[in-house]
Structure formats: structure tokens, C-alpha cells
Amino acid sequence: MAHLAPTPVLEPGQDRTMILNMGPQHPSTHGVLRVLLEIDGETIVRIMPDIGFLHTGIEKTCEAKFYQQVVPLTDRIDYLCPLTNNLCYALAVEKLLGLEIPPKAQWLRVLLNELTRINSHLVWLGTHAMDIGALTVFLYCFREREEVLNMFEMVSGQRMMTSYFRVGGIALEPPLEFFERVREFAGRFPEKVDEYENLLTGNPIWMMRTKGVARLSAEDAIALGASGPTLRGSGVDIDLRRDMPYSGYENFKFKVPVAQEGDVFARYMCRVRELRESNEIVKQALDGMPEGRIKADAPGVVLPDREKMKTEMEALIYHFKIITEGFAVPAGEVYQAVESPRGEMGYYIVSDGTAKPYRVHMRAACLANLQTLPKMCEGGLIADVVAAIGSIDIVLGEIDR
Amino acid sequence: MALVPAITDVEQLKGHPAVGRLLAWNRAAVADVKFDRDEMTIWIDPAKLREACALLRDDADCAFNFLSDVTCVDWYPAEPRFEVVYHLLSIPKKERVRLKVRLDSASPAVESLTSLWPGANYFEREVFDLFGIRFTGHPYMRRLLMPEDWEGHPLRKDYPVEGYR
């Protein structure tokens, strides 16, 4: 957050350009992004994103919490994909501990992760289309998103801040109707994606507003640290789920959509195809769901079942100890990255051998993706800035942390 | 996936492409190595960091062409106090490596990587903002998240969690 100094007054003759302030309270900046635009008529000369309005110091807060108490904080980083953040944190701590996670928990994590991706992409599609002027799509997307949120509520009791994945497994066994409901949703969902595509993909107005707009070359995308659909839209074929699998993703078959053009339309196509691929993964996860436990066999780390806690003394002692003094994690450091809906979400955790993390750092995909904005917009028109911001799918909670 | 002890012997880790390449280039620039929990960490002499990164990026066998992340760890009150941590990813080889530099608390500064990866810009500004590490050669070394007139660097260990009252 910067730029306290007022805009300098220019000498006569030098005032070809003017500074225009956009945000932080602007509906198309998806939260509190402030963008300073230096414009020459309608053309962008310079664009400077200004961030930090949502900075809450989550990384500092994590250092004062037990490992298990950090989980609810991770939800709040990227509030459109809380389960992805839960997963990434849980995987990182499990790697530090050297814990083995039972197959059923892994598959459930994959299933819910892909539902989260659908949820996040639906919000993106709805708001992105609305920014550009296609208002109807928003209502359609939120209709399906509501169903996904209801399913999250079924398993975790919360619609958005789920905290459902814990270190060592999953909080609760999902209710039986849950799988029926997901199956029904997954069967219906491809038609819904067709519906969105009918409204947008071939629509001449949509194509005029997105094709050839805000181009980003593959070299620039890599150099600027872009990841996820922003990188794949520029023709770089990398997806951490396929290339560096985690949580049992190697057992799933799916395609990674890549587009070559690097414009707003290419990023749009990548995400819409990802919606379909995620739905396929959800179906595979339902069909192949293994039986067994949903928590690792690690009594000092994983909370005992409620029943056991009431009937067995050891379980009660473990429960008391985990709640009051946490669990110690062997000293060391790990960097765990997962493919979030926005790109490479990474957790870097340093342990000094105590029950509280010494350092937790979140590698926010959006922070790096936002740096591509000047490359996309400079030389373009003001009206396309909104399309460019929408196409990198920013979440300010993750950028500012 | 039980834990195995970390390997810190340079001779045993020579086989790793990044370690091998850096040792062949300049043995003195590699301060330490560690292989722990399937992750490779290399400590580099701060003065040689930029050259080492350029080498790893451009070498065909390493091809660490993507800078994932830059962050820092404060080991207060130990000296050298700061460790700046760089995570590199090789998109063609699907491989990661972690580079670290150790910095004293007196006037912590290290060369900026923005000339190699322009994407280092925000990451380095964030580290400067929250830890007070200076990156020489950075085009715009200003605070990123905290207000411009903020005093102190919040993620340092001697900064209270509730802030100064």
C-alpha cells in the first residue's frame, strides 16, 4: 500500500497524460484493488496496481497458534477456494511429520478439491462476464454455485469457511446422502456448462471484447511468475496435479486445457474446459472411492473419535493433550505446492520442533499473476483493463493476506 | 513415508543436477547443502546469488526457469539473523530446488533478482516490507502491503504479535 504523495502537478506542455484512479471501491476490481492508470486519451500509458488494503497479517498470526489452530486461518486467505488452502496446509504439515494418509481420505480430498475448483471458477465466470457486460451468466453460475455450497455445508457444516481437512485426514465422515447428491450434480453439470457456453463462447459481442485483448506471451508469463490458467492460456503446458502429483492425483485421468493465444478469450476457454475436466475427476472419485478410515493412525496428532474419547482412557488423554498443548512437529522445513483454481498455491512451513510453527509463508498465486497486468494493459484501452483484471481471476484476500 | 534423517554431505548430493552444476561452477559459492523430506536446499554465498540463479536458469540440464517464491525467515537472536529463501521450479524438468542466503542483522541486503525474473518484484518488495531486507538493484524498493509511513517490519521475531501499543 503506497502512494501517499499527491499526484504531481505537471508543467504546461507536459500534460499529455493524466492520472486516473480506479478503486479500491470499484465493483470490477473484485475486492479492494486500487489501480492507478496513466492515460493518454483512451490509451493506457502506465498502469500501477496498489495493494495491501486487506492485509491482516495472517502469517504473523500463524506463528502464535498451534499447528491445528492454523487450519481455520487458511480458509480466510482465499475465500473462494478454502478447501484448496486447507489441503495445501494439511499436506505441508503431514510432510513435516512424515504422516501416511489413508486412501479414502485422499480420494475425498480430491473430490472436494475439484468441487471447490468448480465453485471458484463459477464465481469467476459469473463476475467476469458481468464486468464485461453479460449480466445473465452471473445468475446462471450462482444457481449452480449455490448447490456446491450446500454440499460443502453437508460435509463440514459451513458454506464457505469449511476447515474440513485436518492434519492427518479429514474432520468428519461425510453423511451418506452426500455422495448421492454429488453424483446427481455431476451428472447434470456438463449441460449447465453447455448453457454458459451457449451464452458466451460463440457470442459476437463476447468475442469482440475478449479476442486479441490483453495479450500475454509465454516468455513474459513465465518471467513474471504467472501460474494456473493465466500461464496455460499463454500456451505453457504445466499443471501441478498432473506433473507433480499430490494427494493421490496420479490415480485420476484428466486433460489439462491449454490455449496458445494468450488473450482474455484463451484464459476464458482454459477455465471453462477446466470446469468440465473437474467434473470428470469428481465422477472418477465417486466411482473409485476406497473403503477405510478417514484419519491417519497417529494418536498423538489426530484427535480421537468422539466415541473412543468417552470410553477409553488413552483416547481421552490424547484428546486433552492435543487440545491443551498441541503436538510437536520435528524440526525442518517444507514447501508444498498445489494447483489451486488460480495457479500455484504454496505453503512454506518452518518448524523448530515445538507445537507452534516457526514460520508459515503462503505463496499466493494471485500476487504473482497480478504482476502480469501492466504487460497485458499497457498500450491498450481503458475499457479493456476491466476485462484483463477479470481474466486473471484475482482474489484480494490471497494477495494481501 | 516415515521420516529419514536429512543428508547434509556435499559428496553424497553431487548427483543432483543443481548441486553438481553449482559445484562445478564455483565450489566456494556453495556454503551448505541439505536433502530433507525429498526437498533439496542449497545455501549460497549472498554475493554470488544472482550469478548462481542465472546459471541454474540458463543451464540446459537444470532449466530452473520459473521463480516460484521469495520469502525470508528470521532466526532472532541468532546470527546470521536472516535467511532469504528462494524457491525455483523447472517447468521442463518438473523439479524444484530451494536456494538460501544467510544475512547478518547489521544491514541486511542482497542483490535483487528482478533483472533475471521481473516477477521477483512483488516478492522482494513484500520481504522488504515485512522483514526489512534490502534488495540492491530493485527498481522500486517501497513497501508493498503495509502503509507507507508504517514503522518497523512486522514479521520480524522481535515485533510483537499485537503490534506496538
Residue B165 lies in a domain: no
pLDDT single digits (tens) A126-178:
999 988 888 889 999 999 999 999 999 999 888 888 889 989 889 888 998 99
Residue B31 lies in a domain: yes
Residue B17 lies in a domain: yes
B126 band by pLDDT with thresholds 50, 70 and 90? very high
Tell which of A3, A36, A54, A55 to mutate to test the B interface (max B CBs under 10 Å): A55
pLDDT single digits (tens) A173-209:
899 899 999 999 999 999 999 989 998 888 898 988 8
Q: Which residues of B touch A371 (CB under 8 A)?
A: 118-119, 121-122
Residue B88 lies in a domain: yes
Residue B37 lies in a domain: yes
Residue A49 lies in a domain: no
Residue B150 lies in a domain: no
Spatial contact of B27 and B16, defined as CB atoms under 8 Å apart: no
Q: How many Cβ atoms are within 10 Å of A56's Cβ, its own excluded?
A: 14
Residue B144 lies in a domain: no
Give residue A293's domain range: 58-400
Spatial contact of A59 and A360, defined as CB atoms under 8 Å apart: yes
Residue B86: pLDDT over 60: yes
Give residue B43's domain range: 11-108
Residue A5 lies in a domain: no
pLDDT single digits (tens) A355-399:
999 999 999 998 999 999 988 888 888 888 888 988 988 888 888
pLDDT single digits (tens) A86-100:
999 999 999 999 888
* Overall domain count for chain A: 1
pLDDT single digits (tens) A267-317:
999 999 999 999 999 999 999 888 888 888 888 888 888 888 889 898 999
Distance, CA of A153 to CA of B153 (rounded, Å): 39
Residue A11 lies in a domain: no
A8 band by pLDDT with thresholds 50, 70 and 90? low
Distance, CA of A271 to CA of A196 (rounded, Å): 12
Distance, CA of A151 to CA of A29 (rounded, Å): 29
Residue A9: pLDDT over 60: no
Q: Which three cell numbers stand for residue B59?
A: 543451464
Q: Which three cell numbers stand for residue A120?
A: 471458484
Residue A3 lies in a domain: no
Q: In chain A, positions 252-311, which contact chain B (CB-CB < 8 Å)?
A: none
pLDDT single digits (tens) B34-62:
888 888 899 999 998 998 999 888 888 88
Residue B1 is predicted with a pLDDT of 60
Residue A379 is predicted with a pLDDT of 85
Q: What is the CATH number of the domain that holds B54?
A: 3.30.460.80
Beta-sheet pairing, B95-103 with A165-166: unpaired
- Name the residue among A52, A98, A334 with its Cβ closest to that of B39: A334
Q: In chain B, positions 124-143, which contact chain A (CB-CB < 8 Å)?
A: 126, 130, 142-143
Residue B78 lies in a domain: yes
Q: What is the CATH number of the domain that holds A305?
A: 1.10.645.10
Tell which of B40, B68, B126 to mutate to test the A interface (max A CBs under 10 Å): B68
A2 band by pLDDT with thresholds 50, 70 and 90? low
Residue B164 is predicted with a pLDDT of 73
* Overall domain count for chain B: 1
Q: What is the DSSP string of A174-194?
A: PPHHHHHHHHHHHHHHHHHHH
A349 band by pLDDT with thresholds 50, 70 and 90? very high
pLDDT single digits (tens) A98-127:
888 999 999 999 999 999 999 999 999 999
